Amino acid sequence: MAEHVFFPDEPPRPLRIKYNGSLYDGGNWDQFPVRHGWKLETGAEKFPRRRIPQRFHSGIECWLYFGMLHYVFGDQLDQSDFLLRREEDPQQYITTKHLHKYIDNAKEWKKRKLGERAVDIVNKVCEQLSGYGDYYVRNDMSLAIRLVCYVFWNVAVKRDGPQTQTHHVRQWMFTGEIETKRMVAEGWCPLEAAKCRVAGGGVDTPAYLLQLMRVKPGWNKITHEFCKNTECVANNVDESEYVTRHVEEDCTCSHLQANVEQLHAILRDGGVPLLMLTPGSEDELDNQNFKVEIVSKRVGKQYLAISHVWSDGLGNTEGNSLPNCQLSLLYGEARRVLTGGEYVPRYEGGPFATLHTSAARLAHFAGSQTLRRGDSVLLWIDTLCIPHQPDVRSLAIQRIREVYVDAYRTMIIDSEMRHVSASSTSHLELLLRVLHCSGWMRRLWTLQEGLAAKSRLYVLFSDKAVNIATIADELLTKLDRGKLPVMQERIATFAMGVWFTFFKHTIDSASKFERFVNLVVSPFDKSDITKDQLILWNWFNVATRATSKAADRPIILAGILNLDVKEILQVKGSDERMRKFYTLIDDFPQGVLFQPGPRFEEEGMRWAMKVCQYTEEIRYLSGGPGKITPRGLQITLYPSWLFPSRIVFDLGLFDVDNNQGQRAWEQWIKEHNIEDADNMPSVCLLNTEVPVVFEPNETYGIIVHRSEGSRPGSKRSCAVVSLRTTEDSVHYSRYEALGTIKSIASFVQWPDGGYLVPVAWDDQQEREWIVG
């Protein structure tokens, strides 16, 4: 099943979805439930809700899957095209291997008006899934049904124009819990599965990922058993047990040591140390020996920067050395990437592609000629170029961004990618593997390295290094020119969106020319990127990346925002570094009020998150900038209520003393003229993550994260604040708690807890706040 997402290639590990039901009978789709006995002739339900007998369940699956195919393609449908049997296996399976035969001909699609039928049946099927899906359709079959719905809908949109999605269509077309649970069950990181879901990817993306063959080196026993949907800890390193690995497990070659005194001298002199590798004589086993020298980075000297994950074994917790075999690997790959004709820069698409390519080729040629005159190569890798002594280590960390910005090439070395053949793998699959399979993509420090490298970012695969940074651009060009298979277009669009989110919306480190080219060529960059937008995008980037040390997060966040990292490094501890981070910026997105997670507790800082990391769920930071003041964050974008504490009724009173709670309830009803507890037109239910003590004779506010189209009855995130003073119509307040609020008309079911606030939904007003 789901072979269509790889067409014209074959999936490495096809999904197997069993099917033992009958084929569709070819009759009217709407009348199928009547013909097969689970509905009456009138169309009414024959059985009580959720009590349709087991014998009808396979018929429901047939109706929603094969019936849907027949609705669109009619008698031209050969249902056996969608069933797969293998000689060695008597079981039959659902397949979409031949789906392309029915949709590839765009002229026939338009001529037969298949788009109209496709949209109509997708609406019908998604509506029925909402009623039948959770009880009578197996999860695997639900996935199969939704995948075909997704194809039909997107082909119709592409060929027949935009279509209006109903609530049911939106619900079933995106990545859902069925797929994410299956991903986790099959060994994927819960965070990776959650990212597929919250990023708004279609159901086809997890279907694609589930069919990839994951291959790791034999020594890599890492699992995601202890990961959460907000954090991957699989690649975290315990320095006390760290092992620096050789290229082959049975290798016993000696380590080569960097000159630590030279490292210190270059860093203290304001420079950046590079590793110069020069091949020497061969040993008795014909292994190449190398001379290791530490030199200072100079303008015009091309070098390769290495970006890697320490859990893959290329680090060293005890000194600045690596095994000879690893340096031999780095030398060979550096020489190929820096001098090889295959790695001459090439840009596709856009009005400046030829000019951009010519300039880059000239630079590559000049640099490679210099390298060819000698056997040495220059490279930078943290293991040998960042010393362990704290004072000089701090200097090296401050210059990491400079290392990757100035590098002629940056190469990602990831143990899982080293087992993937680039030559036999499509560009789409390569991009998705890097985005979703590599440990490199989940680590914090590699984020800054990838961002700084921009279009010079290469990944080392099993057979060669590939410029992964240009693959998204090339896929975009193919998409624009109609060169991608129609059933891969949505997956490619999602993958490109994820890539551009990470690596296009970055620090402004490129030349004006490159910025201009990016502005013209990329549909994602239509205006200058502001610092506030960078904070929005990169908060997510940092928060979803893993690190063994929480105190590293402010360093990376400051680095990718091009702030002074030195000031961050001068203070110790995660909390103090985050405090320092906030002092380095003037504004912060106002939607931070609605982010779950720990906050600072001192006055003026209670709005601010203590860590750039998701702790409960992935929730995008949102909102325009608010000015950071000594008294708090300026809030102007969200409506709010302002009310005295005495009007709030705490439902928790019933838990303390039921009789006292009942008396307080009756008094509250009387005071607010609520004659009927089953009819309360102007009351809202507030629930908070932590209890709020509404102090007597105080004034409070509820600031609501209200979106377009929010309406009474809908639950919205909110922030509860206590008013301190009002000056010149600005309300100065203290952040109390994050919560949710919704209006209620009656108690159909008595709430488990929370607070009742007698305010009408439409009484919210625009106010300016300073929330401290």
Q: How confident is the model over 622-645, as pLDDT tens digits? A: 999 999 999 999 999 999 999 999
Averaged pLDDT score across all residues of the chain? 89
- pLDDT score of 745: 74
CA 537 – CA 200 distance, rounded (Å): 15
Provide the 8-state DSSP code for 145: H
Q: Which of 125-129, 215-219, 468-472 has the highest mean pLDDT?
A: 125-129
Helix, strand or coil, per DSSP, at residue 202: strand
Q: Please check whether residue 99 is in contact with residue 148, taking contact to mean a CB–CB distance below 8 angstroms.
A: yes
Lowest mean pLDDT segment, chosen from 83-92, 445-454, 504-513: 504-513
In this model, does residue 509 exceed pLDDT 60?
no
Going by pLDDT thresholds of 50, 70 and 90, the confidence category of residue 286 is confident
Q: Please check whether residue 748 is in contact with residue 710, taking contact to mean a CB–CB distance below 8 angstroms.
A: no
Q: Spell out the residues 6+ positions from residue 54 whose beta carbon is closer than 8 angstroms to its own.
A: none
Sort strands 755-757 and 730-744 into parallel, antiparallel or unpaired: unpaired
- pLDDT score of 227: 95
Going by pLDDT thresholds of 50, 70 and 90, the confidence category of residue 200 is confident
In this model, does residue 96 exceed pLDDT 70?
yes
Q: State mean pLDDT over 453-464.
A: 91
Q: Please check whether residue 628 is in contact with residue 695, taking contact to mean a CB–CB distance below 8 angstroms.
A: no
Strand partners, 273: 296
Sort strands 457-460 and 465-467 into parallel, antiparallel or unpaired: antiparallel
Torsions phi, psi for 424 (to 5 deg): -105, 15
Going by pLDDT thresholds of 50, 70 and 90, the confidence category of residue 453 is confident
The more confident residue out of 354 and 29 is: 29
- Cut 0.75: pTM above it: yes
Q: State mean pLDDT over 319-338.
A: 96
In this model, does residue 342 exceed pLDDT 80?
no
The more confident residue out of 347 and 272 is: 272
- pLDDT score of 4: 96
Provide the 8-state DSSP code for 137: S
Half-sphere exposure of 448 (CA within 13 A, CB side): 25
In this model, does residue 133 exceed pLDDT 90?
no
- pLDDT score of 386: 98
Q: Where are the domains of the chain?
A: 3-173, 249-470, 543-626, 639-771
Strand residues in 356-401 grouped as ranges (E): 377-380
Q: State mean pLDDT over 536-561.
A: 91
Helix 114-136 and helix 57-73, axial crossing angle in degrees, nearest 10: 170
Sheet holding 304-308, edge to edge: 288-296, 273-282, 377-380, 304-308, 409-413, 457-460, 465-467
- pLDDT score of 712: 60
- pLDDT score of 561: 87
- pLDDT score of 49: 78
In this model, does residue 267 exceed pLDDT 70?
yes
- pLDDT score of 511: 32
Q: State mean pLDDT over 730-749.
A: 89
Q: How confident is the model over 11-28, as pLDDT tens digits? A: 999 999 999 999 999 999
Q: Which of 188-197, 490-499, 561-570, 601-610 has the highest mean pLDDT?
A: 601-610
Q: Spell out the residues 6+ positions from residue 113 whose beta carbon is closer than 8 angstroms to its own.
A: none
Going by pLDDT thresholds of 50, 70 and 90, the confidence category of residue 748 is low
Triad 202, 461, 376: Cα angle to 5° = 140
Torsions phi, psi for 106 (to 5 deg): -65, -35
Triad 694, 699, 702: Cα angle to 5° = 80
- pLDDT score of 451: 84
**Distance between start and end Cα atoms, the chain:** 54
In this model, does residue 276 exceed pLDDT 80?
yes
Q: State mean pLDDT over 299-306.
A: 95
CA 625 – CA 532 distance, rounded (Å): 6
Lowest mean pLDDT segment, chosen from 151-160, 358-367, 386-395, 443-452: 358-367
Going by pLDDT thresholds of 50, 70 and 90, the confidence category of residue 681 is low
In this model, does residue 520 exceed pLDDT 50?
no
- pLDDT score of 752: 83
Provide the 8-state DSSP code for 228: B
Q: State mean pLDDT over 735-759.
A: 87
In this structure, the dihedral spanned by the alpha carbons of residues 514, 542, 459 and 277, taken in order and rounded to 10 degrees, is 90
- pLDDT score of 15: 94
Lowest mean pLDDT segment, chosen from 375-389, 517-531, 568-582: 517-531
Q: Which of 94-103, 228-237, 506-515, 528-537 has the highest mean pLDDT?
A: 94-103
Strand partners, 291: 278
In this model, does residue 515 exceed pLDDT 50?
no
Q: Please check whether residue 121 is in contact with residue 29, taking contact to mean a CB–CB distance below 8 angstroms.
A: yes
Helices (H), 526-587: 531-543, 552-560, 565-569, 574-583
- pLDDT score of 713: 65
Q: Please check whether residue 615 is in contact with residue 597, taking contact to mean a CB–CB distance below 8 angstroms.
A: yes
Q: Please check whether residue 617 is in contact with residue 229, taking contact to mean a CB–CB distance below 8 angstroms.
A: yes
The more confident residue out of 387 and 526 is: 387
Report the 3 state secondary structure along 378-435.
Answer: EEECHHHHCCCCHHHHHHHHHCHHHHHHHCCEEEEECCCHHHCCCCCCCHHHHHHHHH
The more confident residue out of 324 and 359 is: 324
CA 174 – CA 607 distance, rounded (Å): 33
Q: State mean pLDDT over 147-152.
A: 97
Strand partners, 744: 683
Q: How confident is the model over 683-712, as pLDDT tens digits? A: 899 999 999 999 999 999 999 997 554 566
The token pair at 560 is 């990718």
